[in-house]
Structure 1
Amino acid sequence: MFYEKYIEVFGGGGWILFAKPPGNDHEVFNDANSNISNLFYCVREHSSELIEKLRYVLNCREDFDRIKHIISQKAEIGDVQRAANFYQLIRYSYASSCDSFGGKPHSMWGNFPLIEQASRRLQKVVIENKDFEKLINSQDSEVSFFYCDPPYYSTEGYYQNVGFTTADHERLRNALTAIKGKFLVSYNDCPEIRELYKGYKMYSYERLNNIRQRFDGGSMFGELLIANYDLNERLNSDQQISLYDLEDQLC
């Protein structure tokens, strides 16, 4: 599948972007959570200063609660300090939730090489902090590829800070239906999402539920990939298949 613009609509941790080899395509990373977009901006533009602010942070509940309060109050502390605080919450919280203290050993210094690598990878990436519909409309073209990893259906309550509601699932579908480019959406596999995207190509699979491993070892959950193009296209071509190509039959 040919594209010239890669747009990650719900960026989050940027897992797909960082796994994707950099090329000549125009890359956009977006997240409606300003703490995430600010962190990525500071990693790209101020990595050395960010590392220095993280060098002597404490892995303790009292400091975690203090930082969490500062973030929740949206205090005017500067972009880099705000990014350092948010990164501290991610690393020291349970399951990177930024909500509850994890209470596990973690070497912050061990993350510094990762921050430096991420800074180099992000040098040519456009970082946005927009509502998904506005981003899709502004970046759409015949050579655009949108990867969307929205909040799972029925988990909207976990995303109150960015205001993603049940109605936004339909708003996302409507925005993607109108585009000229291509899209790939990843969701939890449920009847509501299958009905919402009825008529599009779908591929279902199971993966490990990392959050539940502590209490339910081996727990799995179903995921669903949805696209407006043939998901087997590259499997049927002579091109080299990457780690992210599909290996099984479409559902």
Structure 2
Amino acid sequence: MMSNPALALSPVDPVRPLAPYIGGKRALAKRLVALINSIEHQAYAEVFVGMGGVFLRRDQKPKAEIINDWSEDVATFFRVIQHHYLAFLDMLRWQITSRAGFEKLLALEPSSLTDMQRAARFLYLQRLAFGGKVRGKTFGVVVDGGARFDVTKLAPMIEAVHERLAGVVIERLPWSDFITRYDRPGTLFYLDPPYYGSEGDYGRDMFDRSQFEQMALQLRGLRGRFILSLNDHPEVRRIFAGFDFREEELAYTVGGGGNAKAVREVIVSN
């Protein structure tokens, strides 16, 4: 077991996620990053990476980093940014913000596209979708700012994410299989599953409520360490009873609106 975390973690520049994503942890990320840094680990494994709302905002990293998402859009997107970012930028060069373009791309079947086309479609839709929605996307209207798909601003952001992904392993596995594959002493898992009661927000057959019980069972037998963030719900407290709970009060706005909604979340750990 490591005795000096300073020797295990090295500084890394935080990077902005490239698009909003429902359930993104912008409001909680700073607290989560501090907690992750306080736990000794040789490998960091993120089970539901989404758009990287926590992963990309970290300022310390171990030697081994693995990110995972069962969404084919997400996994393809990060692989393209990692390996083909110059060609990807070239593909985006002539895209503009338009409702017609949004609706045209939304109607396309992603499986009919090349990986590069699929990644470009995904980024365009996530940048422009109201509230960063994954399922049931609608065009987000901006009246107090510039176009949300501006390649001149996106190019340096994409380059920064490309550089941050150097040496990172990108997986596309069901969450349980991912944990099984990477579980060992010295691994720290961060899990950000769908909120309890909002399991369908990420698409059909991605995650269902029964999997929370399976998750708690698997985490009880974990050889490594874990941090799990979820909404504060009586069933969440029942299912994950016996682990450490930390309560967090947050205020969220949807789609950049001015009215903040107060919510309570829990950070669960072993």
TM-score interval (norm. to shorter): 0.7 to 0.9
Aligned match for 1:7, one of 32, 45, 50: 45
> What are the ranges of 5 or more consecutive residues in structure 1 without an aligned counterpart?
229-251
**Alignment partners' CA distance in 2, 1:120 and 1:61:** 32
Quick check: 1:26 aligned with 2:64? yes
**Alignment partners' CA distance in 2, 1:57 and 1:22:** 35
Aligned positions of 1:229-244 closer than 5 A: none
Quick check: 1:159 aligned with 2:197? no
Aligned positions of 1:26-105 closer than 5 A: 26-70=64-108, 73-98=109-134, 99-104=137-142, 105=147
Q: Is the 8 A contact 1:206 1:221 kept in 2?
A: yes
Which amino acid in structure 1 is aligned with residue 43 of structure 2?
K
Aligned match for 2:157, one of 94, 105, 114: 114
Q: Is the 8 A contact 2:131 2:255 kept in 1?
A: no
Q: Is the 8 A contact 2:47 2:178 kept in 1?
A: yes
Q: Which moved more, 1:22-31 or 1:48-57?
A: 22-31
TM-score (norm 1): 0.85
Per-residue Cα deviation, 1:4-48 (whole angstroms, up to 9, x for no partner) = 110000001112211223544210000010100110111111111
Partner of 1:190: 233
Q: Is the 8 A contact 1:94 1:100 kept in 2?
A: yes
Q: Is the 8 A contact 2:41 2:62 kept in 1?
A: no
**Alignment partners' CA distance in 2, 1:80 and 1:53:** 8
Per-residue Cα deviation, 1:120-142 (whole angstroms, up to 9, x for no partner) = 00011000011000000000001
Shift of 1:212: 7.2
Which amino acid in structure 2 is aligned with residue 64 of structure 1?
F
Partner of 2:8: none
Aligned match for 1:137, one of 170, 175, 180: 180
Which amino acid in structure 2 is aligned with residue 152 of structure 1?
Y
Closer/same/farther in 2, CA of residues 4 and 162 from structure 1, 3 Å limit: farther
> What are the ranges of 5 or more consecutive residues in structure 2 without an aligned counterpart?
1-38
Per-residue Cα deviation, 1:33-83 (whole angstroms, up to 9, x for no partner) = 01001101111111111111111113111111111111xx23432111110
% identical equivalent positions: 27
**Alignment partners' CA distance in 2, 1:103 and 1:219:** 20
**Alignment partners' CA distance in 2, 1:186 and 1:23:** 20
Q: Secondary structure at 2:195's aligned position in 1?
A: coil
Quick check: 1:149 aligned with 2:196? no
Q: Root-mean-square deviation (CA), in Å?
A: 1.5
TM-score (norm 2): 0.79
Q: Which moved more, 1:177-186 or 1:54-63?
A: 54-63
Aligned match for 1:127, one of 170, 177, 197: 170
Shift of 1:217: 1.5
Quick check: 1:219 aligned with 2:255? no
**Alignment partners' CA distance in 1, 2:202 and 2:185:** 31
Closer/same/farther in 2, CA of residues 23 and 217 from structure 1, 3 Å limit: closer
Shift of 1:197: 0.9
**Alignment partners' CA distance in 2, 1:206 and 1:29:** 27
Q: Which moved more, 1:22-31 or 1:128-137?
A: 22-31
Matched positions, count:
225
**Alignment partners' CA distance in 2, 1:67 and 1:76:** 12
Which amino acid in structure 1 is aligned with residue 269 of structure 2?
A
Partner of 1:244: none
